[in-house]
Structure 1
Amino acid sequence: MTGKATGRLVHRDDGLYLMMDRLFTAIPDDVWATMTRPAELEKWIGTLTGAPNTGAAKFRMSAEPEAQAQYVTILECSAPHRFLGDFGEGEDAWRALFHLVEGNGMTTLTFGQRLRNPAEAATVGPGWDYYLDRLVAYRAGRPLPTWDGYYPALAQAYKDMILPARTR
């Protein structure tokens, strides 16, 4: 199975983000739990160890055998609607956010990662499509997708993205 490129580039106050949406038939509390509880995270994306409420937490993406655990700095956490955090340290650090919005019995998840430059979307985009599709599959009780359907298959779609003009 090949995934689909679902990202879009968005300028935010703190930089350029690659943003993606997924829709769930669930209330935000349920989706929030799947995205923040260590036992749930392990089933679709990775391991969270330590105590996030004290700032002493590490996260490791489990579907990437070479991935190392990274420190997590939580910048905003407003359960069950908003999360903003930095992962890693120094030049390798990256920022991610997610928002959950409910409407008509559905919850829309908007996920984003800040990019250093637009070209980074070619590697970041397929990865997040893969992980977010794993989230959807896990919540639906379906088999999780495999990486080979995402990279390099989706890289060109992200290379071809048009950078939006900055609006004020």
Structure 2
Amino acid sequence: MSDLVEEIVAAHRDVVRRGEGDAELIAVTVRRRYDAAPADVWDALTDPARLARWFGPVSGDLRLGGAFQVEGNAGGEVTECDPPHALAVTWGGPESVVRLRLDPDGAVTELVVEHTVPVAFAGSGAGALYVGPGWDVAVLGLSRFLRREAVDDPAAWEGTPAGQRFAAASIDAWAEVVAASGTAGPEELAGAVGAARAQFTPDDPPA
């Protein structure tokens, strides 16, 4: 696999609070560029046979109005589908929404993954630590797939020493982003970092 540091810096991360009152959201965003046409990236994101090779087995219907389930992970409904530009789905519940946007730039495509949840659910921007490292693994997996470096079992790779080293670096990167965003206090952030390490790097749990 490519150098770990290169893979971490290849993704741009952001955490913001958006809206007001009961409608206030935490938005967790990951951006990564791929040397592939939008149509190819879109197909890798929506073809179950290709998804299984870099993300995981997905059953159901990935068309507008369809329902889906990721094996061992979340399920939901497709609420927006504009190929090869945009896809939006609920993720584990109606108020948790993941939006994918594909922006072409010559021969390169930038994928923007935005996961929004109500502040009432996330608590603060520290909630990014519960989902951000997982999305980092996903955009890395897509990059490896498009470079034809895909592994046989993406979920199993996450438990390998290499997968957990990547997750540890991802957690550190998200912690820096959350701290800089001002969306969480020090105690909230420390608690989320500890929980993320226990979840994503179980062989090296926090003290």
Provide structure 1 residue ranges, at least 5 long, that are not aligned to the other structure: 62-66
| Alignment pair present for 1:157 and 2:161 | no
| Alignment pair present for 1:99 and 2:101 | yes
The answer to whether the 8 Å contact 2:100/2:114 transfers is yes
The answer to whether the 8 Å contact 1:49/1:58 transfers is yes
The answer to whether the 8 Å contact 2:16/2:125 transfers is no
Aligned mate of 2:84, from 77, 80, 83: 80
Following superposition, the deviation at residue 31 of structure 1 comes to 0.5
Q: Which has the higher strand share?
A: 1
| Matched residue count | 157
TM-score, normalization by structure 1: 0.78
Larger mean CA deviation between 7-16 and 94-103 belongs to 7-16
Equivalent in the alignment of 2:131:
124
3-state SS, counterpart of residue 52 of structure 1? coil
Mark the structure with the bigger radius of gyration. 2
For residues 117-142 of structure 1, what are the alpha-carbon distances to aligned partners after superposition, in whole Å with 9 as ceiling and x for unaligned? Answer: 31111232211111110110011012
Distance 2:64 2:34 in 1: 30
Equivalent in the alignment of 1:34:
44
Equivalent in the alignment of 2:113:
111
Provide structure 2 residue ranges, at least 5 long, that are not aligned to the other structure: 152-156, 184-207
The answer to whether the 8 Å contact 1:48/1:57 transfers is no
Equivalent in the alignment of 1:64:
none
Q: Which has the higher helix share?
A: 2
Distance 2:109 2:170 in 1: 26
For residues 53-97 of structure 1, what are the alpha-carbon distances to aligned partners after superposition, in whole Å with 9 as ceiling and x for unaligned? Answer: 374532215xxxxx24x432111111100111102236xx63111
Following superposition, the deviation at residue 164 of structure 1 comes to 6.3
